[in-house]
Structure 1
């Protein structure tokens, strides 16, 4: 029996295949290209003008989701009145991937941290902190701005980027950072190709994060007519309506949902108990974000359980450490988590070792590209190695020793693969690798006695784009190939199209960052926020240099324990089907943003458990619809409030912290 033709590749009336089925069409590329500058302005305006954390801090970029909803509404009108002009589902998915990749450039963990780090040392050096005598002369001049007049203008505001005196100062360093980050984010397409078949076809990873965009891209979405969807959406709509009205008319009551709301602070009760209980009081909030609860409903139940369980486990550990008098130096959970992260990617890579060896052998023999593969093995390996060599060369030119530069970028790409794996397998709402970047780990573990002053200074400059890595484009590129496997769009063209959109997104992000900063002033608007991020990496460096600590063998030992604990949990899960804890929760529960998400994960796990126990099969099948309602209701009304604030030039209600 012949296989049915996918709807995205149905022929036209004259019998020729519809080119829109491939997805990567000229009109969708033009549309995405026109939207990139507007999208970058929206993301950076929220941060610089309205004090709202940008959408790249969560795995599902809600700005791109809102954009997809708007385009889908327009597309529905086209389907009704001019079907020939309507976008195909494949084109909408391509738009999603390209806009997500372009959004990455404006994220906090890339653009904003790097931008502040490249000037912070010179702006805040003083006789009191002794930075000039410690490391100022070792900072690479080609990647930084040190002119006092230029820094005064951008921190005080009231200036224009387009003035010649500002352009000449910033153009060179910004162009070099743009080139570095473009290569850094384009090179992994080779890694994506090498891992694609294993992750998508053999392990059949679910990619939970992108199920909602896939549903929205189709022409017929049956759950939009479901009362369950609209009832679920009504909850965040009501919360955001009251929250927005409360922002402008404080007499209107609001419902507490967000971090820092005193009504949700559970830590105050632990403070009242005194020591050792108050050791676990910091950032212990019972947040109620509908957006995150919805994402939690799309996760496996054991992962939701593990996230909140291990989050509270680390808090209990803090109480125990305080009871033993170890509170001042007890942050071992970060080291345990680092070992867990390595095991998280090491376990599947070890399982795939024969297939990866076969791919490398085919690359050495220069075998041709197989049908359905975006790149040949030789091209994949060549692209990655070429990018890696160029990046190592840039690191050496910035002052890193050759072994340190090679180790730094090797660890960076290992982290990128870990994040891709987390999203592909688990769909976690955030994948912040806090205090596990290569700059942090090398400096913390090896220390100044092993690395030396120049290496540590350059690593501190590179800290900006490795701080949390929540917005790297690799996972979105991988999800594009997942779309290709499900909808038969052209994965090769899509993967290659992401590269110029990486460059375009970074270019516009740099432009709007400089434009808004000169106009508003980094020190006059959100001054404490910008000041803290500008000094963060240099304050760390000064502390390491002043301590002059030897190599931290204890941290390596704790990382080894974390590695062994992950493998032990994995072995229990493999041998005992009833084991309730997912080993990934051991590593993923230590991040700063899990303080926002642990209680939403608890709520999602509780709902899933109760529905599975008492709701029956129909109720279980309705849970994804509930999740979609919570997510779209929260994102839709929250984004509209932000747009309203942008147009009216008034403070914005932040549905997401």
Structure 2
């Protein structure tokens, strides 16, 4: 770790611990629990209304959803000062605000309702002689999971409920129950796995959890005698707020007068040359603000390896070395060569992290088996409960896939790869502070191409397609578990209310996503309903018609990435001056990084120059400005949403997160 990065890392830890000491002064209250669940419900309503009804910004993206940041900012900056003005002492304390944040994040964790409802409703409604789903799909669909459309319920789901027709909820009861079973099991696995990993990451390796620190800065000083929180009283915060909010608010004028010149924030696509991957010139104050709080070495490594990846793929394309995606697959990387190379690096990164944690993991397992092991008195749950929660939850998911038609070996393999991906992405977030991250390859695509589809039965192909819908709870829950470190008293009560908030949030989004299609027709909605559900079945039909052996070209790329990552890891641990962080190599090929790489570069440049010439003192003083960038952007998203509700319902403007629609994010 370089000197500048090491100083900033220690500064982040000191600031987080100092704020945490101030936060953890009181115990959990019923008011904070009720408010946290209310925040979760509000966020879910806003997310679904913005995306499907108003057609405005997609505010569910990020490891801390933009909707939650917006609602929490309103609570901290407006509601809490109003409570203090009404009656001294009535304001929310830092502990209560932290509980609200934990429950709000847990309640927003599940965002897969549209994907599941689309999958359940699609197979019979979209079947046609041309796509041959009746031959390759229908015979292998369990009726308890995917009902037929004899009652017309699925047709009405896409076309809208006829006037006077009864609400067709009966055909959905059994399928939704069976779909929610593995999802609940994955939530249990995620919570338990985070409990096991938290001590290793937070205490042994001293990872700084930058996103946790950003939230703590919003909470700091909330119980002081002064009405307004400290971050609102600084000029730098309002300067950053004005930059972010002002540029987007100016662009809102073009909603009413299209000829009005706008600030070019969304950027455009350009390439270094023919055959080179396109680069997206997005300039996002939101991403720049969070980048300032991220790990400096990681930021540098991301844009460095992105340039390396772009040049490498471009040269290979010019030489005629290219690999096409198989039909129906929808990977998170634009080019297979780079995607599989980075995924090889990703897997080595995760496995090395688990190897480093082997001592702690052994102690946790020993404690779970009743032998002398790690002390777990201060954890959310005991290591014994966490260990068996992971094992039993994993077995439930595996058993569900087997009952759907997947062979046991494939069920263990695809869920194992899914867990590896979830742990890797979560590790990247808690170490780097990146707000938007994805793995270079998904578990379904990796299983299909690494093992080959020529040895899979038709029922296994169908069941494997369903694994695409696996949600990632590990990332959000990692922050809930870390925030819980700053609460005193019986923190295990927080776990109970976290589960309640998640259940309420999931029920809210399921109910909303179920109601809106029957009111307006899901065919009028977003990508998940119109096309997203098709990719699962297109892949199945493609592989059933043309089964293929393992793709050794991609496995070779995977091996190259694994070997390169091993070398990078050795250099990082052997030479303290080594500037390249392995995380940058793991995600350089992903579409998300391609969208935000310019913003990441700007954030890195700002942070590097401030630390280089101003030192850690100036770095701390500049933090409110970048916090203002985040708050100003979120405020502008809220402002644009309200304008769309009032003047452009159903034809809104998506100013967040500025990802190309064809990528499907």
Match of 2:40 in 1: 36
The answer as to 2:276 corresponding to 1:280 is yes
For the structure 1 residues 413 and 494, does the alpha-carbon distance in structure 2 shift closer, same or farther, using more than 3 Å as the test? farther
Whether the aligned pair in 2 keeps the contact of 1:369 and 1:375 (CA below 8 Å) is: no
Whole-angstrom CA distance in 1 between matches of 2:232 and 2:123: 52
The answer as to 2:75 corresponding to 1:82 is no
Segment of structure 1 superposing worse, 289-298 or 493-502: 493-502
| SS at 2:258 equivalent | coil
Q: Which of these residues, 225, 247, 262, is aligned with residue 254 of structure 1? A: 262
> How do residues 320-399 of structure 1 correspond to structure 2 at under 5 angstroms?
320-329=315-324, 331-365=336-370, 370-399=376-405
Number of equivalences? 620
Whole-angstrom CA distance in 2 between matches of 1:335 and 1:281: 16
Match of 2:8 in 1: none
- Offset, 1:525: 4.2
The answer as to 2:298 corresponding to 1:300 is no
Whether the aligned pair in 1 keeps the contact of 2:24 and 2:486 (CA below 8 Å) is: no
For the structure 1 residues 104 and 53, does the alpha-carbon distance in structure 2 shift closer, same or farther, using more than 3 Å as the test? farther
Match of 1:154 in 2: 157
Segment of structure 1 superposing worse, 229-238 or 124-133: 124-133
TM-score calculated relative to the size of structure 1: 0.88
Whole-angstrom CA distance in 2 between matches of 1:579 and 1:337: 20
Segment of structure 1 superposing worse, 506-515 or 402-411: 402-411
Whole-angstrom CA distance in 2 between matches of 1:412 and 1:489: 35
- Offset, 1:410: 2.5
- Offset, 1:617: 4.8
Residues 304-353 of structure 1, C-alpha deviation per residue, up to 9 Å, x if partnerless?
A: 12212222222222221221112353621111122122122211210111
- Offset, 1:389: 2.1
Match of 1:17 in 2: none
Q: Which of these residues, 415, 418, 424, is aligned with residue 412 of structure 1? A: 418
Segment of structure 1 superposing worse, 118-127 or 592-601: 118-127
Whole-angstrom CA distance in 2 between matches of 1:380 and 1:594: 33
The answer as to 2:236 corresponding to 1:234 is no
CA root-mean-square deviation: 2.6
Segment of structure 1 superposing worse, 575-584 or 217-226: 217-226
Match of 1:592 in 2: 591
Whole-angstrom CA distance in 1 between matches of 2:296 and 2:20: 35
| SS at 2:498 equivalent | helix
Whole-angstrom CA distance in 2 between matches of 1:323 and 1:447: 29
Whether the aligned pair in 1 keeps the contact of 2:277 and 2:314 (CA below 8 Å) is: no
- Offset, 1:500: 2.3
Segment of structure 1 superposing worse, 363-372 or 239-248: 363-372
> How do residues 109-508 of structure 1 correspond to structure 2 at under 5 angstroms?
110-147=112-149, 149-159=152-162, 164=166, 166-218=168-220, 219=222, 221-258=229-266, 264-267=268-271, 277-282=273-278, 284-329=279-324, 331-365=336-370, 370-437=376-443, 439-465=444-470, 472-488=472-488, 490-508=490-508
| SS at 1:345 equivalent | helix
For the structure 1 residues 317 and 141, does the alpha-carbon distance in structure 2 shift closer, same or farther, using more than 3 Å as the test? farther
Residues 107-135 of structure 1, C-alpha deviation per residue, up to 9 Å, x if partnerless?
A: 2xx22223322333323222222222223
Segment of structure 1 superposing worse, 508-517 or 559-568: 559-568
Whether the aligned pair in 2 keeps the contact of 1:40 and 1:509 (CA below 8 Å) is: yes
Match of 2:532 in 1: 533
For the structure 1 residues 374 and 617, does the alpha-carbon distance in structure 2 shift closer, same or farther, using more than 3 Å as the test? closer
Segment of structure 1 superposing worse, 590-599 or 173-182: 173-182
Segment of structure 1 superposing worse, 44-53 or 233-242: 44-53
Structure 1 unaligned runs (5+)? Answer: 11-20, 271-276
For the structure 1 residues 128 and 580, does the alpha-carbon distance in structure 2 shift closer, same or farther, using more than 3 Å as the test? same
Whether the aligned pair in 2 keeps the contact of 1:484 and 1:490 (CA below 8 Å) is: no
| SS at 1:85 equivalent | coil
- Offset, 1:83: 3.8
For the structure 1 residues 491 and 56, does the alpha-carbon distance in structure 2 shift closer, same or farther, using more than 3 Å as the test? farther
Whole-angstrom CA distance in 2 between matches of 1:114 and 1:646: 27
Whole-angstrom CA distance in 1 between matches of 2:294 and 2:20: 31
Structure 2 unaligned runs (5+)? Answer: 1-17, 325-334, 659-665
Match of 1:13 in 2: none
Whole-angstrom CA distance in 1 between matches of 2:214 and 2:195: 24
Match of 1:16 in 2: none
Match of 1:518 in 2: 518
Whole-angstrom CA distance in 2 between matches of 1:574 and 1:233: 40
Residues 531-590 of structure 1, C-alpha deviation per residue, up to 9 Å, x if partnerless?
A: 221211211222222331112333333222212212211221222333222111111122
Whole-angstrom CA distance in 2 between matches of 1:278 and 1:171: 53
Residues 236-277 of structure 1, C-alpha deviation per residue, up to 9 Å, x if partnerless?
A: 11111112121222133211112xx5xx3324xx5xxxxxx3
| SS at 2:653 equivalent | coil
For the structure 1 residues 163 and 340, does the alpha-carbon distance in structure 2 shift closer, same or farther, using more than 3 Å as the test? farther
TM-score calculated relative to the size of structure 2: 0.87
Whole-angstrom CA distance in 2 between matches of 1:5 and 1:52: 36
- Offset, 1:529: 6.2
Whole-angstrom CA distance in 2 between matches of 1:5 and 1:176: 41
- Offset, 1:487: 4.8
